[in-house]
Structure 1
Amino acid sequence: MSEELERDYEIGEEIGRGRFGVVRRCASRSSGDLYAVKSVDRSRLADDLDRGLAELEPKLAQLAAAGNPGVVQVHAVYEDEAWTHVVVAGDEYGEKADVWSAGVVLYVLLTGGALPFSGETASDVFAAVLRGSPRFPPRLFAGVSPLAKDLMRRMMCRDVSRRFSAEQVLRHPWIVSGGGAREAVQPT
């Protein structure tokens, strides 16, 4: 753990684990407020894409969260030699926020690295996130099916009450059909 992180937060029990890191409960030492901290072990990242996404994640999370109550609110980011630690509001780290994040990752993967919310300046990116409607430029999405784009729109919906749950994502026709880039043709 980062010394600064442990200075500012009391780290509690593990509440989740993934391939590259762990999520733990934590509490602010100054206010007592409860949070969660996601710690990513950068030394375990296998390739340039993983490393690039891990580097972008805290920045994207902060941009997406600003002014958007449906997205996990980032309170602090700490880095040390091998780890990145992102402290988020403990009561907001839920399924719908994870679905939004997974929608962003899906967009990045299907475009070969483009981000769903972009602009010339940080303010432009910020405004695009607040609009909450990802764009699908034809030069990047010529071979991507309408079903895939529909799924991403539903995953990155700014209105949390309308955003897909993880179960709805798994039942979406694009996922059920195997997630091919082109629209699946049903046999007759």
Structure 2
Amino acid sequence: MNNSFKDHFPLRKSRAHEVTGPTALSFAAIACGHGGKGAMWIVESWQQETLNPVGLAPFCDPAKVVLVRADSPIDVLAASEEALRSGAVSTVVAELTKPLGLTAGRRLQLAAEAGKTTGVFIISDGMGSNATETRWRCSPEFDAQDSTLQRWELIKNKSGTLKVWRVRWDAEARRVIVVSEAGE
């Protein structure tokens, strides 16, 4: 995994990843912009807060994001698995409301590999699956000069070390920039 996100978003393609924390939605929206074939975003239909495609515009082309409302947590998983396996989109984002078991997590991982699709699963703290490739905790950092500053902490990584990055969103370049630590 690169120390810099200038050219590549830090998610391994063809894998399932999890993200948690207050800025998890921003992380997922940025992930949607890092594929060539668009994205699918899946939520349960009972959720009253709905993703506004216009809000995705700074991070990705909203016209390339298919929004899906599923009837139940099982339907969210089924739709995610089918979308991952099909390869019709580059990224599948799913907002999970129930913990993901090992079997379901492994099925999603295999589907992502088969479809060469990146899966991003938004979870609550403590809901992670052992089958996931990486798990991220994302939170805002206060900076009076930069409202886009975030802390991205890699808290699970099957193929590398754990690390923390301070990042900001460069809207003009439409990419994540790693913020250097201040010198002493």
- TM-score, L = length of structure 2: 0.27
Which structure is higher in RCO with an 8 Å CA cutoff and minimum separation 6?
A: 2
Structure 1 or 2: more helix by fraction: 1
Q: Which entry has the higher C-alpha Rg, 1 or 2?
A: 1
- TM-score, L = length of structure 1: 0.26
Structure 1 or 2: more strand by fraction: 2
